[in-house]
Amino acid sequence: MLVAVAALSLSISNVNAVVVNNTAFSIDIPDNWAYEQGIFSVVALTPNEFGVLLVNHSKPLSEKMKDEGAFASFEQEMNFPIKNAGFDVYVKYKIDRQDGMNVTSKQNVTLDNEAAVNIHGDGIKSFSDIKFVEYMLMHNEQPYFIAYMANVKDFEKYLPEFEQIVKSLKFVD
């Protein structure tokens, strides 16, 4: 299993990537993923085969992904209402607001030299056939949120590419 993961990781890193920069961070997106940049520090992305997820906004993602799909977003959290709060408060706020997910694991990690929390979860309610991975972190006292969600049949297929994108995160100072 470890050999297969290492080989997959090497093959992903050899894929041509687009470096997406915004005012807050940059990420490397493989050329087999479609993406859109929001007007704020938000990047939404999906494997090319699910590119319609980025243009069809008439239905919620939970409905669009019932049968297939994978979607990710990297964003500076603009809706966190508490100012001057510590990182632990932000993490608690995000986890407590998980109404479509049952959190199955929580782990402390580091992203671009910043402390982060990584959670995994299984979808519930309208997200019942969806699995999740989320990262929460702070940089320069600003909260950031990274999310990956995929239909259970597509989750493992695209997770290694998503994790490679996460590892490419660099904050712009």
Whether residue 10 has pLDDT greater than 70: no
Per the CB < 8 A criterion, the answer to whether 103 and 110 are in contact is no
Q: Whole-angstrom Cα distance, residue 100 to residue 121?
A: 9
Residue-wise pLDDT for 21-73, tens only, equals: 777 898 999 999 999 987 777 899 999 999 989 986 788 888 889 899 999 99
167 near 74, Cβ under 8 Å? no
DSSP-based three-state secondary structure for 53: helix
Identify the domain containing residue 63 by its residue range: 2-171
* Contact in structure between 99 and 125 (CB atoms under 8 Å): yes
d(CA 73, CA 91): 17
Global pTM exceeds 0.75? yes
How many angstroms separate the CA atoms of 115 and 108, rounded?
7
Position 79 scores a pLDDT of 85
CATH of the domain at 25: 3.40.1000.10
Number of domains in the chain: 1
